């Protein structure tokens, strides 16, 4: 094989590697305190009543708290869609009857002072199961119906993890094992290849995928390595062969 052939093959492989790095999208947010990631998705297409379906996927497959705790329950989930309070829980792990509403009793974890202090606009869903739903580590999926003229491109979430589901009463401080603070999560547009939906999102057409910070570092390193590799190969005798 000639030196030129080796050079072209190596250059093509490096180029494909860089393209792969650039195409990586930031499509979820991970809470470093619990090692749980959160992803929101929607088609950004409303029904006749301007209600949008939004899915929240909580990936707690590798749940881990700073003190080393690896098991527990999602005790309460609070979510805020800016611009509307008309939010209905459509689906939840184990069924809707295992997850209470902030307007029902027992409120359970939704009476916890931290959640009460989140302010207006948050819909709090308490785990009212007898330790049968919301166990972590696991992947947990929730579906919401959000009624508003235009669905915003992000929503705010807050999550509370405890030793037990704690749905039937107030949470004692010693049962809490982790909290994901209020975090803004982009809503990925499933009609546009996973890009973030725009503020005019009723008809789709999401934004451009954005590389994660770590990806940008890898891209820079890759470009430098490619340039060095290019110069080294050009220095090889063109007629060399094996």
Query: Would you state the torsion angle of the CA atoms of residues 207, 212, 215, 219, taken in this order, to the nearest 10 degrees?
Result: 50
Residue 56 belongs to what H/E stretch? strand 51-59
pLDDT score recorded for residue 61: 98
Q: Which one, of 56, 220, 217, 211, lies nearest residue 141 by Cα?
A: 56
Domain ranges of the chain: 29-213
Please state the φ and ψ torsions of residue 58, each to the nearest 5 degrees: -105, 110
d(CA 107, CA 118): 16
The pTM (predicted TM-score) of the whole model is 0.70
Supply the CATH classification number for the domain 29-213: 2.60.40.2230
- Specify the DSSP class assigned to residue 197: P
**Full pLDDT tens readout for the chain, 242 residues:** 555 544 444 434 444 343 333 333 446 799 999 999 999 999 999 999 999 999 999 999 999 999 999 999 999 999 999 989 899 999 999 999 999 754 544 556 787 778 878 878 899 898 988 889 999 999 999 999 999 999 999 999 999 999 988 755 556 666 889 999 999 999 999 997 656 665 544 443 333 333 444 444 444 445 444 454 456 545 656 544 44
* Bridge partner list, 58: 38, 140
């Amino acid at each position: 094989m000639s030196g030129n052939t080796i050079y072209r093959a190596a250059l093509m492989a490096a180029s494909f590697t860089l393209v792969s790095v650039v195409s990586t999208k930031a499509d979820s947010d991970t809470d470093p305190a619990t090692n749980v990631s959160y992803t929101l998705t929607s088609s950004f297409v409303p029904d006749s009543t301007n209600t949008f379906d939004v899915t929240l996927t909580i990936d707690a497959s590798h749940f881990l708290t700073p003190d080393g705790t690896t098991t527990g329950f999602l005790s309460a989930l609070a979510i805020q869609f800016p611009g509307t309070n008309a939010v209905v829980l459509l689906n939840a792990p184990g069924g809707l009857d295992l997850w209470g509403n902030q307007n029902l009793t027992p409120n359970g974890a939704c009476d916890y002072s931290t959640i009460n202090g989140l302010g207006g606009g948050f819909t709090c869903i308490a785990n009212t199961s007898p330790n049968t739903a919301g166990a972590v580590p696991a992947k947990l999926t929730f579906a919401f119906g959000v009624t508003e003229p235009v669905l915003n491109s992000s929503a705010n979430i807050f999550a509370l993890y405890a030793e037990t589901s704690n749905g039937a009463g107030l949470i004692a401080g010693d049962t809490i094992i982790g909290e994901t603070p209020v975090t803004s999560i982009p809503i990925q547009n499933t009609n546009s290849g996973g890009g973030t939906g725009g503020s005019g999102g009723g008809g789709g057409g999401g934004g451009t995928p954005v590389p994660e910070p770590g990806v940008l570092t890898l891209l820079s390193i890759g470009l430098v390595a490619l340039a060095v590799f290019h110069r080294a190969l050009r220095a090889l005798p063109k007629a060399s062969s094996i």
